[in-house]
Structure 1
């Protein structure tokens, strides 16, 4: 992995090591029945030093086959949008609340989320992103601890304990099924890019 010019190498390597340790733990997880039906664990991918973290709900068919997050149609939309906005892959990490695919791409069950979300929170704790963009209602509601709908929450800025900025948006899969939502999705990602640029320009952001 290529190291950031200004990022302390020992800190980056420590984060990578901690993520690898967590991966080994999650790989053997049997906390819910989903481990029996998955093809591959979908842990997450990206830079351990990410400034921006995207969080979705669960792997789909393609993700389950490849063991990577957001590689299907929804992933293509997300990754193309990231590229078009000029956001460097070195700045991002992508993960889901669930690390195993629910059968037939059904919604995650509350008990599955309860047993799997500690792994996501540990990823966030290790990476320490400055911005989190939640994709869809499940990641948004669970990280914000709210029952409010995604159409109400999207595009609004929220500050998590510790100072991390969270900006929710619609899940890219929803934009495929409801094309009129795509404009709102793009609007929200523009806001994320603006905040990312603001952080990059801040003198206090020593590790960017």
Structure 2
């Protein structure tokens, strides 16, 4: 199958046309403009590619998601929260958060947050369509997360940890904010055992799209 190219417009093919192998690869090309990224996330599509590749757009058949109310907090983590007394900051230093995520790659995906991606999400943040959260312990940065906002679903792009449980603390702070804001779902995109241990689960693309709509 020849993948469609999306150069010259901001519209995407129907996500149902995504390949089964590799799972979710939908199309290529285009750019990372704010308008195109807004349209992508509104239709359950996200960019993921390496330097030297064309921009690749994905919508996997199964989506890793976490309803904020279902964040799993075991007894050990409750003790950690009580002991550390973390302080959360929403949308304070987006540049610092995304640069920390870029410097600390995911074990299963390598370094994919390259300069072009950083600039694109900085533009999204400036336009009010992206978010970041930092967590501090004893006045020191411990972890953080950034992503994209849609009306009912927030999409977590990447998170980082500078100390033990730093990313868990960031996820806890974000879920507390989402609950207060009435956001129904945190999109975690791809399966991740760490996120699964915190309560995230896989749902079908079709079910995910019902949340977006």
TM-score (norm 2): 0.30
Q: TM-score, normalised by structure 1?
A: 0.30
